[in-house]
Structure 1
Amino acid sequence: MTLVALAAAATVFSAGAQNNGRPTWSLKTSTPTAMLVGEWELSNPPGAATARTGSSAPGAAQVGVAKGASFQLSVKLVSPAGVVKDVTGSPKLIYRPKGCMSIGANGIATVLRSAPAPWTCNSGDPVPLTIIYADQSTGVAAVNMYLFKIN
């Protein structure tokens, strides 16, 4: 009886936790020298993606950054209709860098020379970044994840 109840509960909770709806808003981000390719772009390739294109995309998505460098992140919000709005510096942006990067509320990113464990800041190390746009008054939310690497 207990196993049946647990199995039923697991089925109900797992079905409720799944959300197969795709986000409708997206973010596009760039540095002064590169347009970043994020998780959103990798999961929505233009045209028919081949296995070869998909397998090489993560490497192409990594933008190299130098320790000690600072640069402005430019962020654009893209509506479901494709309308692009520059939201760089918006207080509605939330930056979640990991490892060797810090980002101010104004979108200025700084690549650190060292980071707390378990992160390291050695050549070739990944530097993940999540950017979130959340506007509670309009209900608009968008997120994109990027990957830098230390040069």
Structure 2
Amino acid sequence: MAIREIVKVGNDVLKRKSRRVEKIDNEALELIKDLKDTLYAGTGVGLAAPQIGILKRAFIIDLRDGSEPIILLNPKITKKIGHYEDIEGCLSYPGYEGIVERPRKVMITGMNEKGKIVQYEAQGLMARAMCHETDHLDGILYMDKAKKVYKVEQE
């Protein structure tokens, strides 16, 4: 249980497909804790296991708006509705943003940290984050889908 180093673009692990989490055991619980610790040590709203070098189908999203964080294992987007373009960034590609088209609304299922199958209906930023993090689990980066990527000023 620790703050892990975030894997940066150029590392092959980000382009590989992740394996399923088969059960909630000590290894899975440790992964979840590391994802939480690492996300909260920075400023992002989502973090997928490959971004900390672990090829498992797990992510955390916390929009930091007072809502509960979502931890999802083996996520599967089951429905996409509409589309829109907006700006995305990524903790694995600091200093850059891109314009990416994503669904306005998604339905996603997966397993929570207690091993229960859960389903979410999300829209706007939450839908975008769920798509972004699910893409990470399939070895897809936002810049693979971006219409434009550009450098941003660092604070």
Q: TM-score, structure 2 length as denominator? A: 0.25
Greater C-alpha Rg: 1
